[in-house]
């Protein structure tokens, strides 16, 4: 199974003291090489994104703004996203990464790599995101005539407000996200009632889980909402993305996932029916959990088992108690009621 990695993406780095450092990518590659994991590591493929590829998603004003800031080398894109010199080139490397993963997926059916800047919208950046590589890759595949329908399954702990906005009125791209309750975390949107607009109505699906939600809540959300909707949408291309930030040890989030729970997400992706599938990794703010979490997702996506308990953490997850399950049940039932206007879900 191919895992796309080019060292240039390590330049995507907000600097010392920031939770998002570019070393996460080479550290993970080193980690899986050391473990002799069965992934074939290959560099970026094909051309980097063209201006037309970027303009299919972002406004030219916004692209020029990022380029200008990148040359200046100081300032802020948003409160949590400082400017750094060369950020344009770094963002292009991340987009090239996602394009490469989708290129390989279209040839081989399934591919893995790095990307997932889901907070970047048509006209804005933030949440450590500059250019929405997921949206550019989805549009790239559509514009090349390679695929018509694309489903984006966002399993990051945060909601992908940028991706949602980009495709909010589009019925050719289904955006579906499981995330932490947006009243408790950035970016503060991603509610069940946000279902899309115009011809895109019904093609945005949000499942905001309560604090502490872990494997059981995720399973409920996946089996009762995500899976039936993706299967009835029947996408040509599925782009799934996320990372280790739903893990209970992640310092930026308050969910209750475990490594085996992250593995299950991967396994569900492996089992979903789509002609072409890509999995992109990016998030995770606890360095060791990130390596193990990313590996767990990739092993799930590759139909490989896991048998490790690193740092002796697996059995120490906080109990996903009745209260959490009951609140997840309410969210899932609410989502089913609202989305049953558009999809056959019982």
Task: List active site positions.
Answer: 119
Q: By C-alpha distance, which of 75, 282, 228, 239 is closest to 147? A: 239
Q: By C-alpha distance, which of 51, 246, 248 is closest to 143? A: 51
Least Å distance, CB 296 to Zn ion, is: 16
Q: Where are the alpha helices (DSSP H) in the chain?
A: 24-34, 51-55, 60-72, 87-108, 133-143, 161-166, 215-221, 227-233, 259-271, 287-301, 322-339
Interface with Zn ion includes 181 (CB under 5 A)? no
One of 2, 139, 158, 227 touching Zn ion (CB under 5 A):
158
**Which is closer to Zn ion, CB of 149 or CB of 180?**
180
**Which is closer to Zn ion, CB of 70 or CB of 161?**
161
Least Å distance, CB 74 to Zn ion, is: 26
Q: Which of residues 256-295 bind Zn ion (CB under 5 A)?
A: 283
One of 245, 250, 279, 320 touching Zn ion (CB under 5 A):
245
C-alpha distances (whole Å) from 313 to each of 57, 193, 258, 341 are 41, 36, 9, 42
Q: What is the DSSP letter of 171?
A: S
Least Å distance, CB 201 to Zn ion, is: 26
Identify whether the C-beta of residue 241 lies closer than 8 Å to the C-beta of residue 279. Answer: yes
**Which is closer to Zn ion, CB of 170 or CB of 245?**
245
**Which is closer to Zn ion, CB of 95 or CB of 178?**
178
- Binding mask 199-238 toward Zn ion (x if CB under 5 A, else -) reads ----------------------------------------
Phi then psi dihedrals of residue 80, to 5 deg: -105, 5
Identify whether the C-beta of residue 257 lies closer than 8 Å to the C-beta of residue 90. Answer: no
Q: Which of residues 107-136 bind Zn ion (CB under 5 A)?
A: none
State the residues that interact with Zn ion by CB under 5 A. 156-158, 245, 283
């Amino acid at each position: 199974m191919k895992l796309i990695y080019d060292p240039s993406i390590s330049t995507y780095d907000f600097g010392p003291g920031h939770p998002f450092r570019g070393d996460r990518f080479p550290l993970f590659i080193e980690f899986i090489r050391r473990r002799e994991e069965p992934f074939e590591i290959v560099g970026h493929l094909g051309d980097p994104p063209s201006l037309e590829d970027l303009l299919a998603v972002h406004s030219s004003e916004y692209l020029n703004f990022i380029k200008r800031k990148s040359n200046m080398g100081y300032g802020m894109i948003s409160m949590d996203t400082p400017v750094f010199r060369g950020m344009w080139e770094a963002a292009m490397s991340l987009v090239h990464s996602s394009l490469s993963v989708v290129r390989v997926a279209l040839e081989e059916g399934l591919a893995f790599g790095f990307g997932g800047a889901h907070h970047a919208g048509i006209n804005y950046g933030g949440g450590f995101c500059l250019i929405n590589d997921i949206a550019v890759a989805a549009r790239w595949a559509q514009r090349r005539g390679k695929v018509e329908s694309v489903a984006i399954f966002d399993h990051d702990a945060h909601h992908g407000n940028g991706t949602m906005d980009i495709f909010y009125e589009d019925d050719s791209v289904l955006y579906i996200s499981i995330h932490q309750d947006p009243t408790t975390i950035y970016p503060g949107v991603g509610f069940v009632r946000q279902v899309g607009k115009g011809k895109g109505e019904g093609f945005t699906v949000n499942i905001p889980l309560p604090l502490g939600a872990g494997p059981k809540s995720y399973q409920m959300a996946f089996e009762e909402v995500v899976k039936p909707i993706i299967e009835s949408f029947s996408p040509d291309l599925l782009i799934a993305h996320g990372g280790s930030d739903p893990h209970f040890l992640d310092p930026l989030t308050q969910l209750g996932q475990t490594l085996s729970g992250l593995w299950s997400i991967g396994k569900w992706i492996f089992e979903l029916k789509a002609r072409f599938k890509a999995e992109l990794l990016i998030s995770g703010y606890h360095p060791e959990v990130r390596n193990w979490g990313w590996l767990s997702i990739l092993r799930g996506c590759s139909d490989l088992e896991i048998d490790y308990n690193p740092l002796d953490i697996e059995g120490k997850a906080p109990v996903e108690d009745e209260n959490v399950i009951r609140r997840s049940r309410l969210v899932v039932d609410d989502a089913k009621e609202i989305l049953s206007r558009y999809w056959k879900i019982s």
